[in-house]
Amino acid sequence: MKLNHKSSVLLVVLAVVLLFLPFIADALLGRGWVRILDFALLYIMLALGLNIVVGYAGLLDLGYIAFFAVGAYCYALLGSPQFGLHWPFWIVLPLGALLACVFGVLLGAPTLRLRGDYLAIVTLGFGEIVRIFLNNLNAPINITNGPQGINMIDPIRLGTFSLSSEQSLFGLSFPAVHLHYYLFLACTLLVIFISMRLQDSRIGRAWAAIREDEVAATAMGINTRNIKLLAFAMGATFGGAAGGLFAGLQGFVSPESFGLTESIMVLCMVVLGGMGNIKGVVLGGVLLVLLPEALRHGAGPMQQAWFGKTYIDPESLRMLLFGLALIAVMLLRPAGLWPSRQRQRELTEEHEDYDSTR
């Protein structure tokens, strides 16, 4: 890919900012915000995974958080005192992603003939089934510990390098949240890379064709069954990987982290940012994680300053403003904040003579 001067400068600036972001946030806003950044990255990964299913292939999935849950519980069960297993991170994380991928195919297979509203309802049910299973698998044999969730999950450890304790590198000291930030950033960049490569490929075009017109796609020789399953599997894999990272960061998982609200939240990131456009989805993820937190931290003090007392609980105000923001975006920018633009690919350069000679 060729980049012009301006965009390469922008890219370098962005890289530097991302590299120092945890230190900047730590210094300006406090350590809690670095943790929020970690979560933002997790949600971006989730949103990018869902974007493959919803944005690329056009399959509305309302139970996406189930794959996040599968990845998180896989990590939790294999790396905690629950069963006394302490498998290493580099086995457990891929295993969680793989298991989520299997679940993706399991969800995909019976829903191949469904579209639109019907697909949405089945996937919604699937998400709930997974959550309810996790909630109730504490009897007759205790597997998931039920609503109490699983505690004391092993921290992420790469070899002997633990991310859960402060580490000194290059003369700088990196607290745990910072270390997680860099790992999550690397994973997010990998997910972005995979998404970009897939979108601009034979597979990506097949997904787009199914999204646009399934009948025409199948008449053009696309095996819609396999291609749709592939979309479900890819999306679920990202979800599962993000789930494993989530469990490692939190050290604790319980079914209530994987409710319908979370699924809707991830879907909102995709739709609000701009379905099918990676930059838009990243923007959606950042906004929907950071804004509610900013409101949570800002709304109380602001009311104090303006009115002298807190009239509305910041927590309820958060949801109110969030709802209004969603409505505003849907009215003003129905294609999302950063909608996908028809890509004028670099590839075209060598073929431009075709256009100009006609």
Tokens 């075709």, residue located: 354
Which parts of 208-267 interact with another protein (CB under 8 A)?
208-209, 212-213, 215-224, 230, 234
User: Which of 148, 348 has the CB closer to another protein?
Assistant: 348
Tell me how far, at minimum, the Cβ of 93 lies from another protein, in Å. 18
Tell me how far, at minimum, the Cβ of 207 lies from another protein, in Å. 10
Q: What is the largest CA-CA distance in the chain?
A: 75
Which parts of 149-208 interact with another protein (CB under 8 A)?
194, 197-198, 201-206, 208
Neighbours of 63 (CB within 10 A): 23
User: Which of 115, 197 has the CB closer to another protein?
Assistant: 197
User: Contact with another protein (CB under 8 A): which of 5, 6, 309, 351?
Assistant: 351
Tell me how far, at minimum, the Cβ of 206 lies from another protein, in Å. 6
Provide the residue type at 223 as one letter.
N
Tell me how far, at minimum, the Cβ of 273 lies from another protein, in Å. 18
1 is a contact residue toward another protein (CB under 8 A): no
Under rule CB under 8 A, how many of the chain's residues touch another protein? 33
DSSP conformation class of 346: G
User: Which of 4, 357 has the CB closer to another protein?
Assistant: 357
Query: Within 13 Å of residue 347, how many CA atoms lie on the same side as its CB?
Result: 4
176 SS3 class: helix
Contacts 24+ apart (CB under 8 A), 128-131: 128/63, 128/260, 129/66, 130/63, 130/66, 130/69, 130/70, 130/103, 130/258, 131/66, 131/69, 131/255, 131/258, 131/259
Residues near another protein (CB under 8 A):
194, 197-198, 201-206, 208-209, 212-213, 215-224, 230, 234, 342, 344, 347-348, 351, 354-355, 358
